[in-house]
C-alpha cells in the first residue's frame, strides 16, 4: 500500500470542475478522492497535489517534477499536455520525449506511476477537431505506460465520459460525477478496494435544436471568448493560482482547512 502520493499536472488533477468551497481553490477532484480512500486504509499515508490549472506540459515538468521527487513519493500521478494540444501549433513528438523522460525519472526513483490518456471528444463539434491530436498523444502515453509498467487511466475508452452530463458548464472540465469516474478507474487500476459508485444517468434527454443553439451561444460568450482573450494577452487561468496541497499531508487534514488557505 502506498505511503506517499503526489499528484502532478494541470486543471484535471487540480480538480477544476468539481466544486467544493471548503477546500483550497474551491475544488476537490479525483486525486483528493483517491487520496482519501488510500488514507482510510493507512493512518501514515500522506498526500500532496502540485497541479495548477492552465499549465502546459513543459511548465508542469519544470515547476512540479523536481519538487515531487524531493518528497520521495511511492505513488505519483502525471497528466499534462491537454493545454498544449489546444494551441494552434504543437510538436507532439517533442512534447512526449520530455514526458517519457519525466516518467523514467519517476519510475527510477522507485515510484509507481499513474498516467492518463485524453478523453475522446468525438461527439463534441468543437473538440472533435482535436481528435487526431489527442489520438496521437494517447498512443505515446500507452507506449510509455507499457514500457515503464505504469497504471493507465484510459479515459479515451471510458465511454461514460462522452456524456455531457459528466462535464461542467465550460465543457472542458469534468464535474463531480466525472471526477468520481476517474477516481474509480484509478483505484481499480491500483487494485485498491473502495466504496465509490458510478453514476447511473440513463438515456440523455433530447434537446430542441433552438435550445441547443442558445446554449452554445451562451457557452461561447461565457467560456470561449474569455479563453481567447487570455490567449491573446498571453495570460493563463492559473497565473494567480497556487498548488492546493503543496506539502505532504494526511488526507484528513483537507477537511479542516478553509477555502483559499495560504497553503
**Alpha carbons 118 and 159: distance in angstroms, whole number:** 12
Q: Does residue 19 lie within any of the structural domains?
A: yes
Q: Does residue 158 lie within any of the structural domains?
A: yes
Q: What is the dihedral of CA 12, 17, 19, 24, to 10 degrees?
A: 40
SS3 content of the chain, % helix, strand, coil (to 5): 50, 10, 40
Is the pLDDT at 261 greater than 90? The verdict is: no
Convert the pLDDT of each residue in 29-70 to its tens digit.
999 999 999 998 888 899 999 999 999 999 999 999 999 999
Q: By the 8 A CB rule, do 53 and 237 touch?
A: yes
Convert the pLDDT of each residue in 150-204 to its tens digit.
999 999 999 999 998 999 888 789 999 999 999 999 999 999 999 999 988 877 7
Count the neighbouring beta carbons within 10 Å of the beta carbon of residue 69. Answer: 17
Looking at residue 209, what is its pLDDT?
Answer: 76
Q: Does residue 41 lie within any of the structural domains?
A: yes
Is the pTM here over 0.85, yes or no?
A: yes
Is the pLDDT at 72 greater than 90? The verdict is: yes
Instruction: List the CATH number of the domain containing 26.
Output: 3.40.50.1110
**Alpha carbons 35 and 16: distance in angstroms, whole number:** 17
Looking at residue 260, what is its pLDDT?
Answer: 37
Count the helices and strands in the chain (H runs, E runs).
Answer: 10, 6
Mean pLDDT of the chain, nearest integer? 88
| More confident of the two residues 251 and 56 | 56
Angle at the Cα of 208 from the Cα atoms of 204 and 213, rounded to 5 degrees: 105
Q: Does residue 134 lie within any of the structural domains?
A: yes
Domain of 146 in residue numbering reads as 4-201+251-256
Q: Does residue 244 lie within any of the structural domains?
A: no
- Burial classification of residue 228, based on how many CB atoms lie within 10 Å of its CB (0-12 exposed, 13-18 middle, 19 or more buried): exposed
| Number of domains composing the chain | 1
Amino acid at each position: 500500500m502506498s505511503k506517499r502520493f503526489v499528484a502532478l499536472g494541470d486543471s484535471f488533477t487540480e480538480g477544476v470542475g468539481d466544486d467544493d468551497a471548503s477546500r483550497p481553490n474551491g475544488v476537490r477532484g479525483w486525486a483528493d478522492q483517491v487520496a482519501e480512500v488510500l488514507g482510510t486504509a493507512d493512518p501514515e499515508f500522506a498526500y500532496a497535489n502540485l497541479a495548477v490549472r492552465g499549465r502546459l506540459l513543459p511548465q508542469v515538468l519544470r515547476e512540479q517534477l523536481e519538487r515531487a521527487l524531493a518528497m520521495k513519493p511511492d505513488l505519483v500521478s502525471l497528466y499534462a499536455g491537454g493545454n498544449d494540444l489546444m494551441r494552434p501549433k504543437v510538436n507532439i513528438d517533442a512534447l512526449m520525449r520530455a514526458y517519457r523522460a519525466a516518467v523514467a525519472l519517476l519510475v527510477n526513483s522507485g515510484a509507481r506511476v499513474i498516467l492518463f490518456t485524453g478523453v475522446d471528444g468525438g461527439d463534441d463539434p468543437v473538440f472533435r477537431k482535436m481528435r487526431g491530436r489527442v489520438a496521437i498523444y494517447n498512443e505515446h502515453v500507452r507506449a510509455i505506460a507499457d514500457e515503464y509498467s505504469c497504471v493507465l487511466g484510459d479515459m479515451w475508452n471510458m465511454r461514460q465520459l462522452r456524456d455531457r452530463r459528466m462535464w461542467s458548464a465550460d465543457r472542458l472540465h469534468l464535474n463531480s460525477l466525472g471526477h468520481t469516474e476517474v477516481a474509480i478507474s484509478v483505484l481499480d487500476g491500483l487494485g485498491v478496494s473502495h466504496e465509490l459508485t458510478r453514476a447511473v444517468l440513463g438515456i440523455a434527454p433530447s434537446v430542441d435544436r433552438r435550445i441547443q443553439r442558445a446554449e452554445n451561444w451562451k457557452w461561447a460568450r461565457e467560456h470561449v471568448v474569455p479563453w481567447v482573450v487570455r490567449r491573446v494577452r498571453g495570460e493563463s487561468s492559473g497565473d494567480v493560482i497556487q498548488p492546493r496541497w503543496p506539502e505532504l499531508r494526511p488526507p484528513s487534514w483537507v477537511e479542516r482547512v478553509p477555502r483559499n488557505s495560504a497553503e
